[in-house]
Amino acid sequence: MAATVYLIPTILSEGQTGCLPGYILDAVKNCSVFFVENERSARRFLKLLSKEIVIDSYEWYNMKEVNDQVATSFKQKIKQEKIIGIVSEAGCPGVADPGQQLVLIAQEMEATIKPLVGPNSILLALMASGMNGQHFQFVGYLPIEVNERIKAIKSLESESKQKNCTQIFIETPYRNNQLMETLITTCHHQTKICVAVDLTAETENIQTKTAQQWKTAMPMLHKRPAIFLMYSGL
C-alpha cells in the first residue's frame, strides 16, 4: 500500500473555519504525521477543527525550510507508507506557500497525493475582481527597490495589455500602502487595479477601480493581508 499525502488547506483569517469543508477533519484524523510551515499555528488550527483531537498523538516536522534533514524525514515516512498531512501557514499548501518541494518528492516516490478543497487568497481575489479569469498569472512579490518596482509594474501592465492577462501579486503587509501608492502613480489612469484585503474575515473588502479612481479613494492597507490584481487588457 502506497503512502498517502493529504494537502490540507487552512484558514486565511483567525478563527474563520466556516470556509472549510467538513471532510478536512476526516483527513486530519486519518493522518499520523504532519509536515507544517509553523507547528504552533498548525496545532492551534487542528484544535479549532475539533477539540477532541489529541495533538501529541501526531509526529510533527517543520517544513518552512525544506533542507536535507526535512527531505530525508519525509522520504522515510513515504517509505513507511504513512498517511501524511502537509499544512501551510494560510491557504493551500504548494500554492504561494511551502509544500511544493515535498509534493514533488512524493510524486517521484509514487505516493498517493490528495489535494483538498479550501480557501486560496489568489483564486478568491481573482473570482471577485471582475478581471480576466481565463488568462492570468501570479507573479509573487514585486521588487522592493523603488526604481526596479516601477519597472516591474510597467512591464506587467504592458504584458497585461498585450496578452489580455490579469496580473496578480502580493506584498509584505507593512509595505502595502507604499505598493498601492506606486501602482496608482505608475499605471495608466484607465488600468484596473483590484485590492482584496482580509479575505474570509469579517473585515473582508474587495474593490476594483481604475488607477485614476483609486487616487481619490486610497484604502488603508497597512499590516492587512492583501492580494493585488492589475488588468489593462481589452
At residue 144, the pLDDT reads 94
Residue 177 is predicted with a pLDDT of: 96
Q: For residue 234, what pLDDT is reported?
A: 77
Q: Is the dihedral of CA 100, 139, 193, 178 positive or negative?
A: positive
Indicate the average pLDDT of the chain: 95
Q: How high is the pLDDT of residue 118?
A: 93
* pLDDT beneath 70: ranges in the chain: none
CB atoms within 10 A of CB 71: 14
Residue 84 zone, left/alpha/beta (φ > 0; ψ -120 to 50; rest): beta
- The DSSP symbol for 36 reads E
Full DSSP string of 90-138: SB-TTSSSTTHHHHHHHHHTT-EEEE-----HHHHHHHHH-S-SSSEEE
Give the pLDDT confidence score for residue 113 in this predicted structure: 97
Give residue 116's pLDDT: 96
How many whole angstroms separate alpha carbon 86 and alpha carbon 99? Answer: 7
Identify the pLDDT of residue 98. Answer: 82
Name the residue type at position 171.
E
Q: What pLDDT is attached to residue 18?
A: 87
In contact, 37 and 14? CB cutoff 8 Å:
no
Report pLDDT for 198: 96
Looking at residue 14, what is its pLDDT?
A: 85
The grid coordinates of residue 195 equal 485590492
Query: Rounded to whole angstroms, what are the CA distances from 87 to 43, 117, 224?
Result: 10, 13, 22
Q: How far is CA 160 from the centre of its chain?
A: 22
Strand partners, 206: 196
- Rounded to two decimals, what is the model's pTM? 0.92
